[in-house]
A and B are shown apart, each in its own frame.
Chain A
């Protein structure tokens, strides 16, 4: 892992984003980049004039007015962006990171995200943003779309940072699940001192295929000299996983994102979104 992209908007989640980002950056000697997008929608300023009446020199007056309105707004936005990035640098420095690149494009996060994501190996973003800071059971406006469209592992952080001591890997034997295994094996050096719990949720006790997959996965992780606890449980994945998280005081949940087809997602919402919403811990999602 070389580059970690931290997406920040200066909300209450920013601090934990930086801390989680720093944790990974330290572990893997990766470079941290902080991305803060100045939303282009804020550029549309309103004169609040619906009179439809234009007098002498109307276009010049309107131009002057728009320029001064936008000037004030842009100045505030720029100031805000600078503060956010400054704060990011301070926090990351305090966390012991040296080089931090700061990015401040103007546009829509969802639009320009991919330009920056392409250069990163992992993306860190907050569960919610400035638009929905306190709606505690809901997700932010961008997160679903970003996680869904990103090809890189996405770390979704809660509002407060907790050191990562126990990791739970929700493993289902799918290609995405195997990619998570590979990720752990490739980056094994960074996870040496963390407990890794490997969990497979089966529909019934006698699901041989899942048991076999689990055994294989356990073997792969053990051969990478990781500290592994493997288990297989039955039931509804959402419930089982969140129960396991509580029981074992898991601090990071790793899983594949959006395993189900789109239709099911539309009707009842995917396991991922359910877990994202209810969990109070950081989640590392893979596509």
Chain B
């Protein structure tokens, strides 16, 4: 019996069929989860606008536009993109010092950078970001979203605490009773009605700034088009672009894992870029992939592009119809929703697993996390994490250098069999493994299982050969693999070494 299992049918199928599959794979569930996510994003978009220091409408418009554009152009069907905490945290200073219009310009430039990164196929370079760094990033994001809620909880009437706790209670306990209704929305509705009915004097969303009253309109950012403007927005845009892509790629990989389907990272970069460019013309702030909301989307059954699109459309429709209610929504309920998002985003297992994970990775994770939390700079934290991982990794590899020493029976010939990676970190161990004082006539260095990687390695081998020769010992080097011998021919000074490798 010859049963052929052919699972990878995507490869040759025409674009149209692929489109159909990405859009219409399960329309009913997509629309339903889109509604759940779209409504759940209202409080988040408002909260992130508040973090960035802009009117809630800026985040709400961005969440609508980015969702709609990435639904069509993103590389990961089913992932949710919108105004996010990671991005909002990066724009605080820009908004404070220069205002909203410069943020819009920076958003535009961010999009340009991301499109360029996508065209340069930067998605592949994601492999250089180790898992520990990613987890540190996610944890830091969760902590920062939580910390950003604290201002709403300090110097406020005690009713705010009561409302927050009640909201959290509804959010976490209602699903135990029924999973058919989104519990965060129930919490928001109950708290809003309670606040209005009981005439509670608590801060509301309306106090935080302007809400949208109409669909977004096209407008160019009101900034002077000169070099000075560019100097202001360029550093912000570059960081926003990198952090945004990182978050989007992370979200994409997470959804890849959850749904067991592949994504196109370069397309995702281009999609995010175009979404940010368009957003900037409609008065929205820069955004990226959202980990928490994408998890909620998949949990609610969303898989296709339709879920992303409907999430955006539901958000706008809901905010336009419900704005009178949204305005009176107590901030306490919003804070509760954001606390839930931060808890849901946090990788709890990275702490429960700590004993089982290699210690170096735990250190990388924690360093990444704390650098981001203290500097509020995601790019810096990730860079630190990558450098640390690289150092740890090279140290581990350097330890894997073994030198096997065999003396011939007559005691005149010593064979050194070297295996492992010889490079700048491992060269000392390599050099110390030779015994120059030994009274032998001949020494053979067998490098069949070794690889010379850099100038340092060649230098050490050179020196070893020189030292043996000074002691009157004949040296042969054998078994160099091709890459090593090319390097040796280019760099070695010891003539015989060069000649030997040619033979």
A and B associate: yes
Enumerate chain B residues within 8 angstroms of A52, measured Cβ to Cβ. 36-37, 39-40, 182-185, 296, 299-300
* Known contacts A44-B26, A53-B182, A62-B298; A111/B9 CB under 8 A: yes
Q: Does A47 lie at the interface of the complex (its beta carbon under 8 Å from any beta carbon of B)?
A: yes
Enumerate chain A residues within 8 angstroms of B183, measured Cβ to Cβ. 51-53
Enumerate chain B residues within 8 angstroms of A44, measured Cβ to Cβ. 25-26, 29, 301, 303
Looking at the complex, which one of B4, B259, B340 makes contact with A66 (CB distance below 8 Å)? Answer: B259
Q: Is the CB of B301 within 8 A of A59?
A: no
Q: Is the CB of B179 within 8 A of A51?
A: yes
Q: Is the CB of B346 within 8 A of A56?
A: yes
Distance to closest chain A CB from B226 (angstroms): 45
Which B residue's beta carbon lies closest to that of A104? B3
Q: Is the CB of B179 within 8 A of A104?
A: no
Q: Which residues of chain B (5-49) have a CB below 8 Å from chain A? A: 5-7, 9, 12-13, 17, 21, 25-26, 29, 32-33, 36-37, 39-40
Q: Does B217 lie at the interface of the complex (its beta carbon under 8 Å from any beta carbon of A)?
A: no
Q: Is the CB of A55 within 8 A of B172?
A: yes
Q: Is the CB of A59 within 8 A of B179?
A: no
Enumerate chain B residues within 8 angstroms of A60, measured Cβ to Cβ. 347-349
Looking at the complex, which one of B178, B184, B299 makes contact with A47 (CB distance below 8 Å)? Answer: B299
Q: Does A247 lie at the interface of the complex (its beta carbon under 8 Å from any beta carbon of B)?
A: no
What per-residue 1/0 map shows which CB atoms of A38-69 lie under 8 Å from chain B?
A: 00010010111111111111111011001000
Distance to closest chain A CB from B249 (angstroms): 15
Q: Is the CB of B343 within 8 A of A49?
A: no
What per-residue 1/0 map shows which CB atoms of A103-123 lie under 8 Å from chain B?
A: 111111001100100000000
* Known contacts A57-B347, A62-B258; A85/B33 CB under 8 A: no
Distance to closest chain A CB from B349 (angstroms): 5
Q: How many residues of A contact B (CB 8 A)?
A: 37
Distance to closest chain A CB from B381 (angstroms): 20
Q: Does B154 lie at the interface of the complex (its beta carbon under 8 Å from any beta carbon of A)?
A: no
Q: Is the CB of A58 within 8 A of B344?
A: yes
Looking at the complex, which one of B3, B171, B295 makes contact with A58 (CB distance below 8 Å)? Answer: B295
Q: Does B292 lie at the interface of the complex (its beta carbon under 8 Å from any beta carbon of A)?
A: yes
Interface of A is mostly: mixed
What per-residue 1/0 map shows which CB atoms of A133-171 lie under 8 Å from chain B?
A: 000000000000000000000000000000000000000
* Known contacts A44-B303, A55-B343, A63-B258; A50/B32 CB under 8 A: yes
Q: Is the CB of B258 within 8 A of A105?
A: no
Distance to closest chain A CB from B315 (angstroms): 13
* Known contacts A50-B32, A50-B33, A60-B349; A106/B301 CB under 8 A: no
Q: Is the CB of B174 within 8 A of A111?
A: no
What per-residue 1/0 map shows which CB atoms of A63-107 lie under 8 Å from chain B?
A: 100100010000000000110011001000000000001111111
Determine the distance from Cα of A59 to Cα of B36 in the docked complex, in whole angstroms: 17
Enumerate chain A residues within 8 angstroms of B182, measured Cβ to Cβ. 50-53
Distance to closest chain A CB from B361 (angstroms): 17
Enumerate chain A residues within 8 angstroms of B341, measured Cβ to Cβ. 54
Interface of B is mostly: helix
Distance to closest chain A CB from B326 (angstroms): 17
Determine the distance from Cα of A60 to Cα of B4 in the docked complex, in whole angstroms: 33
Looking at the complex, which one of B4, B172, B179 makes contact with A105 (CB distance below 8 Å)? Answer: B4
* Known contacts A54-B299, A89-B1; A59/B175 CB under 8 A: no
Q: How many residues of B contact A (CB 8 A)?
A: 56
Enumerate chain B residues within 8 angstroms of A57, measured Cβ to Cβ. 347-349
Enumerate chain A residues within 8 angstroms of B178, measured Cβ to Cβ. 51
Enumerate chain B residues within 8 angstroms of A55, measured Cβ to Cβ. 172, 340, 343-344
Determine the distance from Cα of A115 to Cα of B4 in the docked complex, in whole angstroms: 13
Q: Is the CB of B254 within 8 A of A59?
A: yes
Which B residue's beta carbon lies closest to that of A86? B1
Q: Which residues of chain B (250-271) have a CB below 8 Å from chain A? A: 254, 257-260
* Known contacts A41-B25, A50-B181, A51-B182; A56/B5 CB under 8 A: no
What per-residue 1/0 map shows which CB atoms of B359-381 lie under 8 Å from chain A?
A: 00000000000000000000000
Which B residue's beta carbon lies closest to that of A60? B349
Which B residue's beta carbon lies closest to that of A102? B3
* Known contacts A63-B257, A111-B9; A53/B340 CB under 8 A: yes
Enumerate chain B residues within 8 angstroms of A103, measured Cβ to Cβ. 3-4, 6
Q: Does B291 lie at the interface of the complex (its beta carbon under 8 Å from any beta carbon of A)?
A: yes
Q: Is the CB of A50 within 8 A of B180?
A: yes
Q: Does B408 lie at the interface of the complex (its beta carbon under 8 Å from any beta carbon of A)?
A: no
Distance to closest chain A CB from B25 (angstroms): 6
Distance to closest chain A CB from B85 (angstroms): 15
Distance to closest chain B CB from A282 (angstroms): 27
Looking at the complex, which one of B3, B6, B21, B258 makes contact with A59 (CB distance below 8 Å)? Answer: B258
Looking at the complex, which one of A41, A101, A106 makes contact with B6 (CB distance below 8 Å)? Answer: A106
Enumerate chain B residues within 8 angstroms of A56, measured Cβ to Cβ. 343-344, 346, 348
Determine the distance from Cα of A157 to Cα of B1 in the docked complex, in whole angstroms: 25
Determine the distance from Cα of A38 to Cα of B292 in the docked complex, in whole angstroms: 32
Q: Does B2 lie at the interface of the complex (its beta carbon under 8 Å from any beta carbon of A)?
A: yes
Determine the distance from Cα of A108 to Cα of B298 in the docked complex, in whole angstroms: 22
Enumerate chain A residues within 8 angstroms of B295, measured Cβ to Cβ. 54, 58-59, 62
Looking at the complex, which one of B7, B172, B298 makes contact with A53 (CB distance below 8 Å)? Answer: B172
Distance to closest chain A CB from B378 (angstroms): 19
Which A residue's beta carbon lies closest to that of B341? A54
Q: Is the CB of A54 within 8 A of B292?
A: yes
Looking at the complex, which one of B3, B6, B36, B257 makes contact with A112 (CB distance below 8 Å)? Answer: B6
Enumerate chain B residues within 8 angstroms of A41, measured Cβ to Cβ. 25-26
Which B residue's beta carbon lies closest to that of A105? B6
Max chain B Cβ within 10 angstroms of own Cβ: one of A48, A58, A66: A58
Determine the distance from Cα of A60 to Cα of B254 in the docked complex, in whole angstroms: 10
Q: Is the CB of B29 within 8 A of A112?
A: no
Enumerate chain B residues within 8 angstroms of A85, measured Cβ to Cβ. 1, 3
Q: Is the CB of A49 within 8 A of B172?
A: no
Determine the distance from Cα of A58 to Cα of B184 in the docked complex, in whole angstroms: 15
Enumerate chain A residues within 8 angstroms of B348, measured Cβ to Cβ. 56-57, 60
Distance to closest chain A CB from B356 (angstroms): 14
Determine the distance from Cα of A50 to Cα of B296 in the docked complex, in whole angstroms: 8
Which A residue's beta carbon lies closest to that of B174? A51
Q: Is the CB of A49 within 8 A of B9?
A: no
Determine the distance from Cα of A213 to Cα of B179 in the docked complex, in whole angstroms: 69
Distance to closest chain B CB from A134 (angstroms): 24
Enumerate chain B residues within 8 angstroms of A108, measured Cβ to Cβ. 21
* Known contacts A89-B1, A101-B2, A104-B4; A49/B179 CB under 8 A: yes
Which B residue's beta carbon lies closest to that of A49? B179
* Known contacts A52-B182, A54-B340; A102/B32 CB under 8 A: no
Known: A50-B180, A55-B344, A102-B2. 19 other contacts (CB 8 A): A49-B299, A51-B181, A52-B36, A53-B171, A53-B182, A54-B343, A59-B254, A59-B344, A60-B349, A62-B295, A63-B257, A66-B259, A66-B298, A86-B1, A102-B1, A103-B3, A104-B6, A105-B7, A111-B13
Interchain residue pairs with CB less than 8 A apart (7) = A50-B32, A50-B33, A54-B343, A59-B258, A105-B5, A105-B9, A106-B9
